[in-house]
Amino acid sequence: MFVLGVDPGLSRCGYCVLRIGDGAPRAAALGVMRTDPDMDVPRRLAELRDDFRGLLDEFEPRSVAVERVLFQVNVRTAMGVGQASGVLMAEAAARGAEVVEYSPNQVKDAVAGHGDADKEQVQKMVQILLDLPAPPHPPDAADAAAVALTHVAMSGVLR
């Protein structure tokens, strides 16, 4: 059974597929979907949608955990992130997956033990929890792994 975590974004969208079985969760896929900033936004959203569909086709995750979009200093970035998250959530829900959002603080708290953990601490904890040879890069991939791990911890999916 698979859980898919995503850190939504238009330029870089982190994803992590966790394989849930006996023992600790392990990363079956981990990376970043990118779109070209020189393309127009609708086409970038359509590309992101197609890449995300590829993940849903391959792993058929039972649950999709999404890092909740907060309003940031950069309004333009926040809107792109919101649009990307809408596309991802609609696709996952249409497939019948459970879709759950977690706030950045919930994720940091679940993975690193406190809500004000920095990016390096999250990357390091993801490395340890998933028994990876190195901290995942870029941070978007680590954040996606962290939100997937948060869902595993908070939903009791292992029980």
- Looking at the annotation, which residues are catalytic? 7, 67, 140
Assess 21 for contact with a copy of itself (CB under 8 A): no
C-alpha dihedral, 34 to 154 to 57 to 26, nearest 10°: 80
Q: 70-77 contacts: CB < 8 A, separation 24 or more?
A: 70/103, 70/104
Assess 71 for contact with a copy of itself (CB under 8 A): yes
Of the candidate spans 67-75, 110-118, 126-134, 144-152, the one that interacts with a copy of itself by CB under 8 A turns out to be: 67-75
Contact positions with a copy of itself (CB under 8 A) in 82-141: 82-87, 89-94, 99, 101
Of the candidate spans 12-20, 43-51, 114-122, 134-142, the one that interacts with a copy of itself by CB under 8 A turns out to be: 43-51
Instruction: Give the residue, chosen from 4, 69, 126, 147, that forms a contact with a copy of itself under the rule CB under 8 A.
Output: 69
- Single-letter amino acid code for the residue at 18: L
3-state secondary structure at position 89: helix
Shortest distance in whole angstroms from residue 96 CB to a copy of itself? 9
Phi and psi based region of residue 156 (left: phi greater than 0; alpha: psi -120 to 50; beta: remaining): left
Q: Does residue 139 have a cis peptide bond before it, meaning omega lies within 30 degrees of 0? A: no
Number of residues engaging a copy of itself in binding (CB under 8 A):
27
* Residues constituting the chain: 159
Using CB under 8 A as the criterion, what x/- string covers residues 22-41 for binding a copy of itself? ------------------xx
Percentage helix, strand, coil, to 5, in the chain? 50, 20, 30
Residues that bind a copy of itself (CB under 8 A): 40-43, 45-46, 48-50, 69, 71, 75, 79, 82-87, 89-94, 99, 101
